[in-house]
Each structure stands twice: as structure tokens, then as C-alpha cells.
């Protein structure tokens, strides 16, 4: 009954208040009807008064029925409002749960975004450090040298390369890769002129851009010529040398915007390589070294197989000899068995002779009588 069914201005109207107001209106109407009926009865004739009394009684009955209907309507409205309140509460609970789940997902995504932001901040700091490294000529050279050395060390075994080795002309390249089968070494140069390239990146206008591009072209061609003159020694190094560029983007820009520089490098037998191309070349050299080791091991295996076949032949000869010995041994065993059978037979005969000599009924002179033929054969056999 305390459910709010409406508002009157800013004042809420509850279900109980509405039912009370409705009952009050009905009561006022009933009082007015009764008063009017009484006044009419005093003015009317007695018959009319009786009819009015009947009508009043009927009106009272209708009033009671109306009150019953009002109560049932109030109960129905209360039940509906209770159901509406339950559904509203359930809907609010579901909405709250969904909101909490969405907030949790939002917090997780914000955490991911926060970690990504931290990674971006760290990467930005590393890029600033890299820019500072590339801005210094000495540190830039050390950076290119270190990256080239890392690629070579990761791809080749110890002894398959040498850093800062001295050639016969007293020059010292950054790296010399040893090739299999006694072939001359492959020279890798890690010094790349980035001053003019940085000037191209920093150019603010078309004129400054053209000037920086011309300077970059002159510096690169001069460095390529120096590599060709110092590091290409017949019989000592390969006919081609590598110029290492420590950046894939610079390598791509050179091939896109400075095709003439690439062609001049080819004419001087110098190949411009990026980190990925250097890694691929090192893998090819590694495969060649592995193939050489396999060929060396193949020669060793072939020699061992030949020796094994010789050992097998000697083993076959010795088995045959052993078989002959086994045959002779079998024959000897058969001869021994024949002898043992003869010995057994003669032993039996000797036993028989001893038994006859031991009989007491035979006279003594019978010993001089001729022996039994079996005894004669036995003595002859002995």
C-alpha cells in the first residue's frame, strides 16, 4: 500500500492515500444523496417517501458493492505494483552486474593500454638513444661494427671469420670471412657515410634536399672506391666485397632513390647489403662450410669402409680355416670313439678271463692248456 502511483507537483501519491481519497469521495457522495433523499421525503407524499427509502437502501447496497470493488481493485493494483517492483529490482540487478562486468573489461583494456603506453615510452627513449648514437660518427661506426659482428658470430663457427685482420697491403677491413676449400676470404666493410644521409632527412626545402642528395652521392661513391682499392686483392680476397648498411630503411631508400650509386658499386665489385642480406649471405657460407665438413667426413667414412671390407675378408678366411680345423677335430673325435669302443670291448673280454681263472673245480694243470681263442685274439690285439 506504500507503493507510489503518481506525483502531485513534487509530492508523491501512494496507493493507500489514493484508496483513502476514493473512499472519502464515495462517503461524501453517499451523505449528500441521503440528505437529499431525506429532504425530498419530507416534501413528498408518504408513498413517495417509501419509494425514496427503498432507493436509499438500494443505493446503500450499491455503495457496499462499490467499496468491495474498490478494495479488490486496490489489491490488484498492489499485486501488480509488487510484481513491477520485483521485475524492476531484477532488471536493476542484471543491469548492475552487466555494468560491473563492462567496467572490469574496461579496466583490463585500460591496463593493456597502459602497458602498451609504457612500451611505447621505452621504445621512444630507445629511439632517442639510437638517434644520439647515429648522430655521433665514432659511436655510429661502433654501432654498425657491433651489429655486423653479431650477425657474423651468430652464423659462423669460431675460426670461420676474423675481425680487423691485417691484409698484405697493410689495410685492415672490419671483417674477413673464411671460405671453404682454401678459397680467398670475403671482405665486409661496416663503415657507411651517414652524415649526408642525415642531411637528406633534415632537409627543409627542395634546394637543401638536392644539395644533401648530391653530397650523399659523392660520399658514398668515394667510400665504394676506397673499398674496391684497399680490400680487393687478387689471390688474397674475393673479387667482390660487401658494404654493410646497418638499417633496412636506408638500404631500401638507396635502391629506390639512388640507383646510379648501386650501379657504380656493382661496377667496382662492391655489393651494398642490409642486415637481412648479410644474414642470408652468412647462412650460405655456413652451408658451404658444412658441405665441406661433410665431404671430409665422407672421405674418412670411405676409408673406414674399405678397411672394414678387408677385415671382413680376413675374417672369412679365418672362419674357413676354423671350419677345416673343426672337420679335422670331428674326424679325430670319431677315431677316438672307435678306440674307446675297442677298449671297452677288450675290457669286457679281460673281465671274462679273470672270472674263468677264479673257478676252484678246475685242476692246476689246466692252466697250461691252450687258451681260449678269444683270449688269444685279445693278447694279439694288445
All three cell numbers of 163? 675481425
d(CA 28, CA 229): 124
Please, are residues 67 and 20 in contact by the beta-carbon 8 Å criterion?
A: no
pLDDT at 367: 44
Among 35-39, 166-170, 265-269, 338-342, the range scoring the smallest mean pLDDT is: 35-39
3-state DSSP of the chain:
CCCEEEEECCEEEEHHHHHHHHHHHHHHHHHHHHHHHHHHHHHCCHHHHHHHHHHHHHHHHHHHHHHHHHHHHHHHHHHHHHHHHHHHHHHHHHHHHHHHHHHHHHHHHHHHHHHHHHHHHHHHHHHHHHHHHHHCHHHHHHHHHHHHHHHHHHHCCCCCEEECCCCCCCCCCCEEECCCCCCCEEEEECCCCCHHHHHHHHCCCHHHHHHHHHHHHHHHHHHHHHHHHHHCCCCCECCCEEEECCCHHHHHHHHHHCHHHHHHHHHCCEEEECHHHHHHHHHHHHHHHHHHHHHHHHHHHHHHHHHHHHHHHHHHHHHHHHHHHHHHHHHHHHHHHHHHHHHHHHHHHHHHHHHHHCCCCCCHHHHHCCCCHHHHHHHHHC
Statement: residue 298 has pLDDT above 50: yes
pLDDT at 69: 72
pLDDT at 30: 66
- Residue predicted with more confidence, 29 or 205: 205
Mean pLDDT highest for which of 35-39, 95-99, 236-240, 304-308?
Answer: 236-240
Among 58-72, 108-122, 232-246, 308-322, the range scoring the smallest mean pLDDT is: 58-72
Give the sheet arrangement for strand 270-273, strand by strand. 161-163, 175-177, 186-189, 241-244, 270-273
Residue 10 confidence class, pLDDT cut points 50, 70, 90: low
What lies within 8 Å, CB to CB, of 132 at 6+ separation is: 139
Among 11-15, 128-132, 143-147, the range scoring the smallest mean pLDDT is: 128-132
What lies within 8 Å, CB to CB, of 342 at 6+ separation is: 381
Q: What is the mean pLDDT of residues 264-275?
A: 90
CATH no. for 137-292: 3.40.1350
Per the listing, cell 658451404 goes with 288
Please, are residues 30 and 59 in contact by the beta-carbon 8 Å criterion?
A: yes
pLDDT in tens, 132-155: 555 555 445 566 788 888 888 888
All three cell numbers of 344? 671297452
* Residue closest to 274 by CA, chosen among 197, 186, 159, 188: 188
All three cell numbers of 76? 490488484
Residue 61 confidence class, pLDDT cut points 50, 70, 90: confident
All three cell numbers of 33? 444523496
**Separation in Å, CA 324 to CA 32, 130, 316, 327, 329:** 152, 85, 12, 5, 8
Q: What is the mean pLDDT of residues 167-171?
A: 88
Q: How far apart are the first and last CA of the chain?
A: 146
Helices 206-231, 259-267: axis angle to 10 degrees equals 10
Residue 40 confidence class, pLDDT cut points 50, 70, 90: low
**Do the bridges between strand 241-244 and strand 270-273 make them parallel or antiparallel, or are there none, so unpaired?**
parallel
Residues forming a β-bridge with 241: 270
Q: Where are the domains of the chain?
A: 4-110, 137-292
Among 49-53, 128-132, 218-222, 229-233, the range scoring the smallest mean pLDDT is: 128-132
| Neighbour tally for 244: CB within 10 Å | 25
Q: What is the mean pLDDT of residues 41-68?
A: 67
Does the pTM surpass 0.85? The reply is: no
- The per-residue pLDDT of the chain, averaged, comes to 75
Amino acid at each position: 500500500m506504500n507503493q507510489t502511483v503518481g506525483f502531485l507537483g513534487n509530492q508523491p501519491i501512494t496507493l493507500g492515500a489514493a484508496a483513502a481519497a476514493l473512499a472519502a469521495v464515495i462517503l461524501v457522495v453517499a451523505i449528500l444523496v441521503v440528505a437529499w433523499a431525506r429532504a425530498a421525503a419530507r416534501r413528498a407524499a408518504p408513498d413517495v417517501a417509501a419509494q425514496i427509502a427503498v432507493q436509499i437502501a438500494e443505493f446503500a447496497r450499491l455503495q457496499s458493492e462499490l467499496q468491495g470493488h474498490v478494495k479488490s481493485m486496490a489489491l490488484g493494483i498492489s499485486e501488480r505494483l509488487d510484481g513491477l517492483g520485483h521485475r524492476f529490482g531484477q532488471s536493476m540487478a542484471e543491469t548492475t552486474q552487466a555494468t560491473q562486468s563492462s567496467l572490469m573489461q574496461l579496466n583490463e583494456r585500460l591496463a593493456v593500454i597502459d602497458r602498451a603506453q609504457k612500451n611505447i615510452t621505452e621504445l621512444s627513449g630507445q629511439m632517442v638513444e639510437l638517434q644520439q648514437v647515429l648522430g655521433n660518427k665514432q659511436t655510429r661506426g661502433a654501432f654498425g661494427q657491433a651489429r655486423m659482428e653479431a650477425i657474423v658470430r651468430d652464423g659462423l663457427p669460431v675460426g670461420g671469420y676474423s675481425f680487423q685482420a691485417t691484409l698484405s697491403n697493410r689495410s685492415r677491413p672490419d671483417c674477413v670471412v673464411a671460405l671453404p676449400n682454401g678459397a680467398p676470404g670475403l671482405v665486409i666493410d661496416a663503415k657507411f657515410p651517414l652524415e649526408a644521409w642525415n642531411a637528406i632527412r633534415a632537409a627543409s626545402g627542395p634546394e637543401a634536399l638536392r644539395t644533401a642528395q648530391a653530397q650523399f652521392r659523392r660520399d658514398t661513391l668515394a667510400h665504394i672506391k676506397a673499398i674496391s682499392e684497399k680490400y680487393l686483392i687478387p689471390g688474397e680476397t674475393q673479387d667482390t666485397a660487401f658494404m654493410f648498411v646497418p638499417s633496412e630503411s636506408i638500404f631500401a631508400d638507396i635502391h629506390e632513390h639512388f640507383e646510379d650509386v648501386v650501379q657504380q658499386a656493382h661496377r667496382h665489385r662492391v655489393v651494398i647489403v642490409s642486415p637481412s642480406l648479410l644474414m642470408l649471405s652468412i647462412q650460405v657460407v655456413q652451408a658451404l662450410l658444412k658441405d665441406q665438413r661433410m665431404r671430409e667426413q665422407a672421405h674418412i667414412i670411405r676409408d673406414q669402409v674399405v678397411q672394414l671390407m678387408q677385415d671382413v675378408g680376413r675374417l672369412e678366411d679365418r672362419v674357413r680355416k676354423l671350419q677345416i680345423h673343426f672337420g679335422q677335430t670331428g674326424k679325430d673325435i670319431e677315431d677316438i670313439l672307435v678306440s674307446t669302443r675297442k677298449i671297452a670291448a677288450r675290457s669286457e673280454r679281460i673281465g671274462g678271463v679273470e672270472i674263468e681263472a677264479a673257478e676252484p673245480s678246475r685242476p692246476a694243470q689246466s692252466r697250461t692248456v691252450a687258451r681260449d681263442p678269444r683270449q688269444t685274439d685279445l693278447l694279439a690285439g694288445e
